[in-house]
Chains A and B, each alone.
Chain A
Amino acid sequence: MTVGLTHFLVVSSLLFSMGLYAIITRKNAILVLMGVELILNSANINFVAFSRFGNFGYSGHLVALFVIVLAAAEAAIALAIVLNIYKNLSTVNVDEIDNLRD
């Protein structure tokens, strides 16, 4: 059995679904962020897979590298935000952070 594009995409979509599930269902903001990381990585798999099987050169690999860098930056900022939320509201439970409603 050779590993083709389909297998990558399946792994990628499984990873995406798990990330999405984590984002929607987890109550802890840290866990939500972890979901986001999963989604980003599923995207990375897609980029690399398309780059490998499509006729796009190395541009897909490059974008994946950028996404990893961005993810690192995003994690830094997002964690800072969560820290600030915790400082102000004494919680990281996303259900309780509904100030946007008003």
Chain B
Amino acid sequence: MHESTIVNLSLFILFLPLLGFVITLLLGRKVKSIYIFENSIIILSFFSSVYLLYSKLTNFRTTKITAEIEWFSFKNFITETNLSVNLGFMIDNITAIMLFVVALISMLVHLYSIEYMKGDERYNRYFAYLGIFTFSMNGIVLTNNILMMYIFWELVGLSSYLLIGFWFEKKSAADASKKAFIVNRIGDLGMFAGILILFFIYNTFTFDKIFASINSGVLPFNSDFWLTITGILLFCGAIGKSAQFPLHVWLPDAMEGPTPVSALIHAATMVAAGVYLVVRIFGLLTADAMLFIGVVGMISAFIPATIALTQNDIKKVLAYSTVSQLGYMIMALGVGAYQFAFFHLVTHAFFKAALFLGSGSVIHAMHHEQDIRNMGGLKKKMPLTYWTFVISSLAISGIPLTSGFLSKDGIIASTLAFGNLTGHILFPIFSLIVAFLTAFYMFRLVILTFHGEPRNHHKFEHAHESPFLMVMPLILLAGLSIFIWYSPNPINSEQGWVLSKWIEKPVLFTPQNSRYDFMKTDYNKGISVEHSYLESDTYKEAMHKAHYPAMILSEVAAILGILFAFLLYHWKKVNTDLLADRLRFLYNFSLNKWYFDELYQKTFVSFTIGLSKFLAWFDAKIIDGIVNASALITKEFSFFIGNFDKYVIDGIVNFTAYFNGFAGLLVRRIQTGKVQSYLALVIFSIVILLFIFK
């Protein structure tokens, strides 16, 4: 097998969903069953990505496959050099795994949607949108340069917009889609600025070339500070797309879209693109940039976790939990736990997709009821949904034997090791608090939805287990939340093949003095994946020391959380209403999402509206005034010129004509036609002339 086979295969995987999108969109109205075509395309692309993952991990495990073509180039006529902009692929193990994750979840969501969306009037268009989403996501994953990533980045933004606003007849859905798009644009603005800086300095968009230049000591504006700024600006894109604080407000609103879309885009794949971006640009992050990223991640992990405690909409709880888990991954990247961050991305994609699809199954069964206060007791009616939901909840809480434990425990251990090495002890503290909160709100959700007595008997009577196509993805995804796929040892992920063999170790290219101490490269060993800082003795020792304490602490936190949830909601040892009353202030604060929407409404939104109004006024009065004034002046001047022409110039012309006419009238009398009179005149004239010239 040759490298080009992999490249061709990835081209195939990339463009198949685009084909599906085009055909489904064009024929959607005419051919009612065209969705079958889209589904078969996705299944085909899934099997291709499985094959790609298999051959990448077996034949090319340590090679990075790149392919590049020139897109266009600028010629500099002074230096006679060409500045070319390339399109290209870079396929390493991370790419292959990510492609597999996207293809798998996309396929499951497609199949799930066949049942879930049945009867929708825009059924085929829905599948077309899923197709373009899959295409754009594959583009982000495969690219080797930041320009192409930006293009596909915006394309996923577009497909997210289209799918959130899929039921655009609902005002809330239309508003949510706009909000998502605009908030994302704010983040993308920063990313765009970062891309501009990179292109300005390095004249290339390709990651590898940029990294090589940084490694050889070329820095933006010759300072570490600007490298930090560039990293943070690029990270702004991730803040928007991965719904990190302070731009996290769009993701909960995005739940207005169909539930399978929430599972695919707003839980498993698109929002993970931000994390993927940070993974890709990891090599150029300085210690300051990493600290910034870590703090943003920490805040984004904590705030949504507190909000999720009191939400009553089943999807809102999951949405906040998504933001929180994404914050976890971002924080992990900030503390240098590169592998665990990506590992958590993968495991989270599976169990969060399972949770969302499970909630979709519940919503479907309850006839579009999303309020958990009207649920309860569904365990008996929907056993398969219940058990998959529980397994996924255990995974997200980080209970041993699940995939979530492996990745989450790794992150907590890394924050602990990082705290030990650098003294930033807030990271482990907050990661443990969030672990506790996560376990608590997830099991609150499980208990309120599935346990106890049904609180809405009418809807409960009609509830039923979902059809096969909806349950099958749940079972598959819940199955993927078991540890065995990732590591043979359920409590130590480092021994597993995912971490030790599959996910590459990070390599830093930043100047030595702008890194954390423990990340400094041993010059004797040089820069390579084998000699990443993860392999350094200091880091290994710190991780080793942190391993057991982290495991114990995270387990205590998770089990405490689950226990509290059972105490409060299952055994009802504490009256929750009374508790809410006692902590009225905190409760309201959490219920109203820390008043972020109100804050933004009061500040940014009203400021923008005020600015727009002022600008409109400025346009209407000042600019239009100037334009109108100049028009008026021109008009008056034209009138003047016109009158001048009419009276002065035309007057002169007419006067000449009239004068000539008048003179003619006078002179014409002489011309009698009689020769004798002419002769008389001649003689008369001669006489006069003789007198004059005598």
Residues of chain A whose beta carbon lies under 8 Å from any beta carbon of chain B: 20, 23-25, 32, 94-95, 97-102
Contact = CB atoms under 8 A, between A and B. Distances in A.
Given A23-B676, A100-B673, 8 more contacts: A94-B674, A95-B674, A97-B674, A97-B675, A98-B672, A100-B675, A101-B672, A102-B673
Interface string B669-694: 00111111001100100000000000
A23 B672 CA distance: 16
Contacts of B679: 23-24
A81 to B, nearest CB: 12
Contact of B676 (A24, A99, A101, A102): A24
15 contacts: A24-B676, A24-B679, A24-B680, A24-B683, A32-B676, A94-B675, A94-B676, A95-B674, A97-B675, A98-B672, A98-B674, A99-B673, A100-B673, A100-B675, A102-B673
Interface range on chain B (Cβ under 8 Å from partner): under 10
Interface in B648-686: 671-676, 679-680, 683
Contacts, number: 27
A32 B674 CA distance: 13
Nearest to B680: A24
A98 B673 contact: yes
The 10 A-B pairs with the shortest beta carbon distances in the complex, nearest first, are A101-B673, A98-B673, A100-B673, A24-B680, A98-B674, A24-B676, A94-B676, A101-B671, A101-B672, A24-B679
B162 to A, nearest CB: 90
A98 B678 CA distance: 11
Nearest to A27: B676
B376 to A, nearest CB: 121
Nearest to B675: A94
B275 to A, nearest CB: 106
Nearest to B671: A101
Contacts of A99: 673
A36 B680 CA distance: 14
Contacts of A101: 671-674
B680 to A, nearest CB: 5
A34 B680 CA distance: 17
A24 B679 CA distance: 7
Contacts of B676: 23-25, 32, 94-95
A94 B672 CA distance: 12
A53 B534 CA distance: 147
Contacts of B672: 98, 101
Most chain A beta-carbon contacts within 10 A, residue among B672, B674, B679, B680: B674
A23 B678 CA distance: 11
A33 to B, nearest CB: 12
Contacts of A25: 676
Nearest to A26: B676
A63 to B, nearest CB: 22
Contacts of A20: 683
Contacts of A23: 676, 679
A87 B673 CA distance: 20
B190 to A, nearest CB: 94
A43 B232 CA distance: 122
Contacts of B673: 98-102
A95 B677 CA distance: 9
Contacts of A95: 674, 676
Contacts of A100: 673, 675
A87 to B, nearest CB: 19
A97 B673 CA distance: 8
Most chain A beta-carbon contacts within 10 A, residue among B671, B672, B673: B673
Nearest to A20: B683
Contacts of B680: 24
A53 to B, nearest CB: 23
A68 to B, nearest CB: 23
A24 B426 CA distance: 135
B668 to A, nearest CB: 9
Interface in B42-82: none
A32 B551 CA distance: 149
A97 B674 CA distance: 7
A21 to B, nearest CB: 11
A32 B676 CA distance: 9
B665 to A, nearest CB: 15
Interface string B329-366: 00000000000000000000000000000000000000
Nearest to A96: B674
A102 B674 CA distance: 11
A95 B683 CA distance: 19
A100 B671 CA distance: 9
A89 B675 CA distance: 16
A59 B679 CA distance: 30
A42 to B, nearest CB: 14
A25 B683 CA distance: 13
B516 to A, nearest CB: 116
Nearest to B673: A101
Contacts of B675: 94, 97, 100
A53 B643 CA distance: 76
A95 to B, nearest CB: 6
Nearest to B683: A20
Nearest to A99: B673
Contacts of A102: 673
A61 B671 CA distance: 40
A63 B676 CA distance: 28
A58 B4 CA distance: 127
Contacts of A94: 674-676
A100 B670 CA distance: 12
A101 B674 CA distance: 7
B694 to A, nearest CB: 17
Most chain A beta-carbon contacts within 10 A, residue among B671, B672, B675: B675
A102 B672 CA distance: 9
A23 B141 CA distance: 120
Contacts of B671: 101
A71 B676 CA distance: 20
A24 B672 CA distance: 14
A57 B679 CA distance: 35
A48 B672 CA distance: 38
A26 to B, nearest CB: 8
Nearest to B668: A101
A20 B676 CA distance: 10
A25 B677 CA distance: 9
B667 to A, nearest CB: 13
